[in-house]
Amino acid sequence: MKTGIELIAEERQEQIEKHGRSVEQDVKNNKALQLSAAASVLIHHDIRTPRKRLAIMPTSWDDDICFKMCKKEYKERLIIAGALIAAEIDRIQNTTIYNK
């Protein structure tokens, strides 16, 4: 059985390779802490209805992607949240590099 950190690392790699996310995009498009906000929503909210799902996710994000993340089981949402937190750390560490 894989550990939590292995599952989170796999999810983060999938965000980059399969979904085409990058640190550069996050620096540009997620300046208002959207990554950590989405992670918080996935961890803390019992999201049952589509309207509620979309209302509490970052407004600049694609509704279909938010819907897919929010409808996953709790364990999967935790894994995604962990990967989003890793992405936020990468964004913070690279903010000064890309904003020069």
Please tell me the number of Cα atoms within 13 Å of 59 on its side-chain side. Answer: 2
The pLDDT score that the predictor gives to residue 93 is 93
**Residue 21 contacts residue 80 (beta carbons within 8 Å):** no
Q: Which of 11-15, 40-44, 88-92 has the lowest mean pLDDT?
A: 40-44
H and E: helices and strands count for the chain? 6, 0
Mean pLDDT, residues 42-58 taken together: 67
Cα end-to-end span (Å), the chain: 43
Q: How large a percentage of the chain has pLDDT more than 70?
A: 84
The pLDDT score that the predictor gives to residue 41 is 86
Residue 47, number of CB atoms within 10 A of its CB: 21
Number of residues that make up the chain: 100
Model confidence, pTM: 0.85
- pLDDT of 24 strictly over 80: yes
Q: Is the dihedral of CA 46, 47, 52, 55 positive or negative?
A: positive
Which residue is listed with tokens 């600049």?
60
The pLDDT score that the predictor gives to residue 25 is 92
Q: Which two tokens stand for residue 13?
A: 């790699």
